[in-house]
Amino acid sequence: MEDSTSLKDFQEWIKQTNKAIDGKTIQLASLAMKKNKKYSAAMNWLDKNKPDAPTSYNATPVETFVNGVVAGMFKEAKRMIHDKAVDQEIKHNGH
């Protein structure tokens, strides 16, 4: 019984972590747009501020998290901004 409780706790932790990552990714996209005047500049800001991969990679859980999840969050935030920019209406100058 104790093992199944521990597994349920772990599964709940995964679920909550996924929600937190989604929320922080949205916040990251919002921050990039808040700090810049153009969508392209916001996407460039994300590229500039994405954490670098460590020089020595041993595939520890923390390194895997930073290289996979955190980098993925920046990529997803960039995609969110791109999608928002693509949905903008084309403004014509009096034509």
The tally of domains found in the chain comes to 1
Backbone angles phi, psi at 91, to 5 degrees: -105, 120
The whole model's pTM is what? 0.81
In a domain, 92, yes or no: no
**Residue 94 domain-assigned?**
no
Please tell me the distance from the alpha carbon of residue 63 to that of residue 7, in angstroms, as a whole number.
24
Q: What is the pLDDT of residues 41-82, one digit of tens each?
A: 999 999 999 988 777 778 888 888 888 899 999 999 999 999
Which residue would you say has higher pLDDT here, 89 or 28? 28
Question: 55 lies in a domain?
Answer: yes
Query: Is there a domain that residue 93 lies in?
Result: no
pLDDT band at 3 (very low <50, low <70, confident <90, very high): low
Nearest-10 crossing angle of helices 71-86, 2-34: 50
CA distance 42 to 38: 6
Boundaries of domain holding 67: 2-86
CA distance 9 to 69: 21
Mean pLDDT over residues 1-18, rounded?
85
